[in-house]
Amino acid sequence: MALLLAWMVGLAAAQGTPDDAVLRQQQAVEVAAQAVAAARADGAKRSVIAELMKHYRAEATELDALLPPLDATWEEERRARLQAVIALGEALAAGKSDDDAAEVLAAWLGEPSDRLTLLRKALASTETAPDTVRAAVQADVAEQATALSVWLAYDAAEARRRAEKAQLRAASLRRSGPGQGVGISAEVEAQQLEALALVETTRSATLSTLRTDVLALRAEAAIPRESP
């Protein structure tokens, strides 16, 4: 962990800070995507979802226009990660799956709770650091927190969707009409599906809570520190 932290601080300083405008726009895209996902989860009307989707698309287009040209290998890697974040935001807004993008972020960020701990330590370690290093680390933390937040929102939405599908199937299995009632095997399957739905609903809530912590950390990283 210490080695990773040192590497992260060093890398942030060496690579320079992520573009502020890109970062801000990335966050705006995430907020818009999350708004669409929340509306879908709440069963909002098509017209409401279409309006939110339109806003999301506008934000995503603006982000695309802000992306700078590539001139270094590490920038290509960062671009690939950023593209994965954008793709996951798109999947989140559209209510679809994107396993490839999720895998890119999983390979980058690892276990979300471990990454959150690492980012907290990285931010805390800059208390006595020079301004340039502190600014670089803050920006890097904000960038990673944004990616983590999108990933968690996507994963929470996926878990919620799996839970709803399991509940739908269970509802279909429990037919009770005269002459239509189902046997014990269907009841066993319905119980298994409801158990799965319970697990996925709990997972979704846990991921949402973790995301709240990530957003708090990102807000902390965005606060300018007073010079010593």
Give the binding site for another protein (CB under 8 A).
40, 42-44, 95, 97, 161, 164-165, 167-169, 171-172, 175-185, 187-188, 191-192, 194-195, 198-199
Is the CB of residue 126 less than 8 Å from the CB of residue 141?
Answer: no
Least distance CB 167 / another protein (angstroms): 8
- Closer residue to another protein (CB): 107 or 171: 171
Least distance CB 227 / another protein (angstroms): 49
- Closer residue to another protein (CB): 177 or 228: 177
Least distance CB 19 / another protein (angstroms): 35
Residue found by looking up tokens 């996925």 in the block? 200
Q: How far is CA 127 from CA 8, 52, 145, 213, in A?
A: 16, 40, 19, 20
Q: What sign has the CA pseudo-torsion 67, 70, 75, 76?
A: positive
- Closer residue to another protein (CB): 77 or 187: 187
- Closer residue to another protein (CB): 160 or 218: 160
Q: Which pairs count as long-range contacts for 121-124, CB under 8 Å and 24+ apart, including other chains?
A: 121/1, 121/5, 122/5, 122/8, 122/9, 123/217, 123/220, 123/221
Least distance CB 121 / another protein (angstroms): 34
The one-letter amino acid code at 193 reads L
Phi, psi of 207 (to 5 degrees): -65, -35
Least distance CB 216 / another protein (angstroms): 25
- Closer residue to another protein (CB): 45 or 73: 45
